[in-house]
């Protein structure tokens, strides 16, 4: 089955700097890669996703890149702000079928003022 590894587990950056979180996956059948943000005590919420027919996707200050050959994908947050502090999860699944997500272990991002 699919296995998703996420690094780093914790990340601390200065406000205004960039943050990068990386994930690797094992199953070449996976072709949908979402990123979820979870604030303390809240539910996970989708912030961006990418499909395997696209190498990069941007939405304002966040971007995701995908390298299918190497089976890894990354989340990039630029111009970080205090409200970006949260736990971020990557996940992988096939688009077809039951769309079962396999999540990474999470990255706790702290933005220092």
Partner 1 sequence: NAGVTQTPKFRVLKTGQSMTLLCAQDMNHEYMYWYRQDPGMGLRLIHYSVGEGTTAKGEVPDGYNVSRLKKQNFLLGLESAAPSQTSVYFCASTSRLAGYNEQFFGPGTRLTVL
Residue ranges that bind partner 1, judged by CB under 8 A = 1, 4, 6, 9, 32, 34, 42-46, 49, 89, 93, 95, 98-106
| Least distance to partner 1, CB of residue 98, Å | 5
Residue 104 Cβ vs partner 1, minimum distance, rounded to whole Å: 6
Q: How many Å apart are CA 87 and CA 106, to the nearest integer? A: 6
> Among residues 36 and 111, whose Cβ is nearest to partner 1?
36
Instruction: Label residue 49 exposed, middle or buried (CB < 10 Å: 0-12, 13-18, 19+).
Output: middle
> Taking the complex as a whole, how short is the minimal distance between the CB of residue 59 and partner 1, in angstroms?
13
Task: State the Cα–Cα distance between residues 30 and 44, nearest whole angstrom.
Answer: 21
């Amino acid at each position: 089955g699919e296995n998703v590894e996420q690094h780093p587990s914790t990340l601390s950056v200065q406000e205004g700097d960039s943050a990068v979180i990386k994930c690797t996956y094992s199953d070449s059948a996976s072709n949908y890669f979402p990123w979820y943000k979870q604030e303390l005590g809240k539910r996970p919420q989708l912030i961006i996703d990418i499909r395997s027919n696209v190498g990069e996707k941007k939405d304002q200050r966040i971007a995701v890149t995908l390298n299918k050959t190497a089976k890894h994908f990354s989340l990039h947050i630029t111009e970080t702000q205090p409200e970006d502090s949260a736990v971020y999860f990557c996940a992988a699944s096939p688009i077809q079928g039951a769309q079962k997500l396999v999540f990474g272990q999470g990255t706790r991002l702290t933005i220092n003022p």
